[in-house]
Amino acid sequence: MSTVKLDAKIPSGNLADKWSNYKAHQKLVNPANKRRLDIIVVGTGLAGASAAASLGELGFNVLNFCIQDSPRRAHSIAAQGGINAAKNYQNDGDSVYRLFYDTIKGGDYRAREANVYRLAEVSVDIIDQCVAQGVPFAREYGGLLDNRSFGGAQVSRTFYAKGQTGQQLLLGAYSALSRQIGRGSVRLFPRHEMLDLVLVKDGDGTERARGIIARNLVTGALERFSAHAVVIATGGYGNAYFLSTNAMNSNGSAAIQIYKKGALFANPAYAQIHPTCIPVHGEFQSKLTLMSESLRNDGRIWVPKKKEDAEAIRAGRLQPTDIAEEDRDYYLERRYPAFGNLVPRDVASRAAKERCDAGFGVASSGLAVYLDFSDAVRRLGEATVEARYGNLFQMYEKITDQNPYKTPMMIYPAIHYTMGGIWVDYELMTTIPGCFAIGEANFSDHGANRLGASALMQGLADGYFVLPYTIQNYLSDQIRVPRFSTDLPEFRDAEAAVRDKITTLMNIRGKRSVDSIHKELGHVMWEYVGMGRTAVSLEAALGRISEIRDSFWGDVYIPGDLGGMNVELEKALRVADFIEVGRLMALDGLNRNESCGGHFREEYQTDEGEALRDDLNYSYASCWRYRGEGLEPERVIEPLDYEFIVRQQRNYKS
């Protein structure tokens, strides 16, 4: 079927020995040679900043890019709840194996065993590293680190810093990065956006990633940068849905650029819908705000048992506090007694949708459920609840004008994270030699569903402890390769192509604003490629997306000019790529005739409404290869062989 054969380069040996074996036998680059090698890192989130800092410390010359005014703004900063690590500090039975197992199971058996085991293994080093940097994790009175629980786990292995864990971890990585910038080993290019990857052919005909074309967002100038390797750390593509918990500028463009240059886009359909977000309020809403999963430690999720109560609440005739205890349906506790409110995200999201679709939803829209803290306030007192979740409660109150200490929060699922991404091998290298993808930008570790507090873990694992090793195995061959001139024809041509694309966009001079098209795309994605998908809805999505594509390239209007800052142009370039992402998501969803994790095909469910996998036919990563403008991408598969664990139907009931 396919012309490309994927080699994941999984090291041999027992699961627990693979990473040690790899490190023992990989090739390294000596200090004198490191100085002669340049590495471009695009992105400064947890993965990008930790990678750039660590590579700089090792002695490589690093060029680091971000679209914001400072590396500290990257959207990792918004992660609230925590970071998992198999420290077993609580003596509650945790281990590297258990974290590995929970992650594989949480991902509905659609991730690579070897990668996930490595992730669990290095998780313990991450916590040590962050503490050494001065990250103020929460502590017990005795001075030891505190932990909390997250979904999909029966142990407490989540480390946290109030409700601002992502912020503190990112600032830790940012401080390490800043130290290297101060020392000159990393050169930082803020307000620069990558617009293409540059490939240069070797003497032996191998095309390798050798640089990027970036746009200086302040001056509008296109600039060329060369390097011996390029690392993509630009996060996920959730903003294809327009409304998501991602930051306004988060985008999937670097992923699409390298996809068009030969990297494979794997499992695009796997998007995570987070169960606890503040519901949508109006047509001008620009983004959705997440309420951390950690709230499910103490908050209980419910809707009214009686439809008439739900109707009265929607009409404003009843308040949630009017509903008697016996008339409340704590549906997660009812359906999943073993995990209760702490089931994984995909399960919790679908359960909320199921109740709302059945007519039990609250809020005037009927698209919300309650997250109630009254029990916790009674049990622990308001002060303790405030100490645990104060900043989240404050954020909720500022947005909704309601006090969650007194009345339950209203929440509804929203797009939050994308498990799919650029295909990488065990070394985190894409199918383009010299081009790596790390953090959320790659597809590697979360399978079809990511567990809470695991994104921070993976971003930092890749950046601190995996890539700085594996990239050397590639670069050891490159030590004789001199620095590249950006005057090479490959750079000139890549820049010209980017300039043409921008000129084409600017010259459309149509009638529609970029945002209006983006919103239309988002609506189609949510309706047809959202929480529940069917072959019919996905077919419809493909049709609608191609219409949206036509109206974008035929009717978009971008004011201003090419020179200088042009925010509308920046958005337009990203939306052009979101349209491509949306198409890939729908294609992939249509191909995968099973339900797994965040990909729920309504045709494939158990009698109890749970996701029904088809391991016989779909135990693979589906990877899409670009074949040119207007052509269907080719599907390449990486079979997932489970050597070490037995796959089961996920069970969070008993």
Active site residue 345: yes
Of 242, 331, 465, 578, the one binding other proteins by CB under 8 A: 465
Name the residue nearer to other proteins (CB basis): 447 or 459. Answer: 459
Of 10, 26, 57, 602, the one binding other proteins by CB under 8 A: 57
Q: Strand 300-304's sheet: what is its strand order?
A: 271-277, 409-418, 369-372, 300-304, 328-329
Nearest-approach distance from CB 220 to other proteins, in angstroms: 11
Nearest-approach distance from CB 490 to other proteins, in angstroms: 31
Name the residue nearer to other proteins (CB basis): 402 or 651. Answer: 402
Q: Provide the 10 A C-beta neighbour count for residue 2.
A: 11
Distance CA 166, CA 73 (A): 11
Please provide the DSSP assignment of 338-373 as one string.
Answer: TTGGGS-HHHHHHHHHHHIIIII--STTS--EEEE-
Site for other proteins in 107-126 (CB under 8 A): 125
Q: Which helix (H) or strand (E) holds 525?
A: helix 514-528
Of 23, 27, 139, 379, the one binding other proteins by CB under 8 A: 139
Name the residue nearer to other proteins (CB basis): 78 or 312. Answer: 78
Q: What is the CA radius of gyration of the chain?
A: 24
Nearest-approach distance from CB 60 to other proteins, in angstroms: 13
Q: What is the longest distance spanned by two Cα atoms in the chain?
A: 76
Site string for other proteins, 494-533 (x = CB under 8 A): -------------------x-xx-----------------
Residue 559 near other proteins by CB under 8 A: yes
Stretch that binds other proteins, among 170-178, 412-420, 523-531, 603-611 (CB under 8 A): 170-178
Nearest-approach distance from CB 528 to other proteins, in angstroms: 25
Residue 12: exposed, middle, or buried by beta-carbon count in 10 A (0-12, 13-18, 19+)? exposed
User: 27-36: long-range contacts (C-beta < 8 A, 24 or more apart)?
Assistant: 27/472, 27/473, 27/476, 27/477, 28/472, 28/476, 29/472, 29/475, 29/476, 29/479, 31/59, 33/479, 34/58, 34/59, 34/60, 35/59, 35/60, 35/61, 36/479, 36/483
* Binding residues with other proteins: total (CB under 8 A): 81
Q: Are 246 and 236 in contact (CB under 8 A)?
A: yes
Q: Which residues pair with 277 in a beta bridge?
A: 290, 412
Name the residue nearer to other proteins (CB basis): 31 or 205. Answer: 31
The gap between the terminal CA atoms of the chain, to the nearest Å, is: 42
Name the residue nearer to other proteins (CB basis): 162 or 650. Answer: 162
Active-site hit among 224, 300, 345, 350: 345
Nearest-approach distance from CB 464 to other proteins, in angstroms: 5
Site for other proteins in 60-79 (CB under 8 A): 68-75, 77-78
**CA torsion, ordered 479, 481, 485, 486, to nearest 10 deg:** -80
Stretch that binds other proteins, among 21-29, 277-285, 301-309, 526-534 (CB under 8 A): 277-285
Q: What is the DSSP letter of 16?
A: G
Stretch that binds other proteins, among 175-183, 260-268, 349-357, 589-597 (CB under 8 A): 175-183
Distance CA 596, CA 578 (A): 23
Residue 179: exposed, middle, or buried by beta-carbon count in 10 A (0-12, 13-18, 19+)? middle
Nearest-approach distance from CB 102 to other proteins, in angstroms: 21
Q: Could you tell me how many residues make up the chain?
A: 654
Name the residue nearer to other proteins (CB basis): 358 or 567. Answer: 567
Name the residue nearer to other proteins (CB basis): 132 or 536. Answer: 132
Nearest-approach distance from CB 434 to other proteins, in angstroms: 22
Stretch that binds other proteins, among 132-140, 331-339, 498-506, 572-580 (CB under 8 A): 132-140
Distance CA 168, CA 162 (A): 9
Residue 167 near other proteins by CB under 8 A: yes
Name the residue nearer to other proteins (CB basis): 125 or 614. Answer: 125
Q: Provide the 10 A C-beta neighbour count for residue 35.
A: 13
Residue 565 near other proteins by CB under 8 A: yes
Listed residue (640, 644, 598, 649) closest to 110, CA to CA: 640
Of 10, 28, 90, 247, the one binding other proteins by CB under 8 A: 247
Nearest-approach distance from CB 93 to other proteins, in angstroms: 18
Site for other proteins in 200-239 (CB under 8 A): 218
Beta strands 83-84 and 61-65, pairing class: unpaired
Of 37, 114, 161, 575, the one binding other proteins by CB under 8 A: 161
Site for other proteins in 409-448 (CB under 8 A): none
Q: Are 419 and 267 in contact (CB under 8 A)?
A: yes
Site for other proteins in 280-339 (CB under 8 A): 281-282, 284-287, 289-290
Listed residue (579, 623, 626) closest to 258, CA to CA: 626
The residues annotated with a catalytic role in the active site are 345
